[in-house]
Amino acid sequence: MEETVRERIVRLLEEAGHPLSAEEIAALLGLDPRTGAKEVYTHLSHVARTVWRRSGGRKQVFMEPPSCRACGYVFKSLNKPRRPSKCPRCGSQRIDPPRFIIMEV
Ligand SMILES: [Zn+2]
């Protein structure tokens, strides 16, 4: 079951042609709009490892980092894919979420 969701995430990220946010992925997969994005985030680290391993290091999940819509601050040092709740520079909660895509390295 979980494997299926992960496989569908891989396919979406390969075929989208542009980076997708967890919210967009959740909507495209038809997941519950209230919990879907959170679920996608929990899958993404595993998806990244799978893509890397299965392609022999030729393909990789790239993350476009989240940024603050108010001041432009970019969250460059996230160690895990997630949507920060608040900007550390200006305190705004208008955060543009991270976006993901699979590309050849
Ligand atoms: Zn800010």
Q: What residue segments make up the domains of the chain, in order of their start?
A: 2-104
Distance CA 104, CA 60 (A): 6
| 1 pLDDT more than 70 | no
Question: 2-104 has which fold?
Answer: Arc Repressor Mutant, subunit A (1.10.10)
CA of 88 to the centre of ligand 1 (A): 7
pLDDT digits (tens, 9 = 90+) for 4-60: 899 999 999 999 999 999 999 999 999 998 999 999 999 998 999 999 999 999 999
pLDDT recorded at residue 58: 97
Q: What is the DSSP letter of 74?
A: B
| 94 pLDDT more than 70 | yes
CA of 78 to the centre of ligand 1 (A): 16
CA of 86 to the centre of ligand 1 (A): 8
| 2 pLDDT more than 80 | no
**Furthest C-alpha separation in the chain:** 42
pLDDT recorded at residue 101: 96
Nearest to 27 by CA among 44, 14, 9, 42: 9
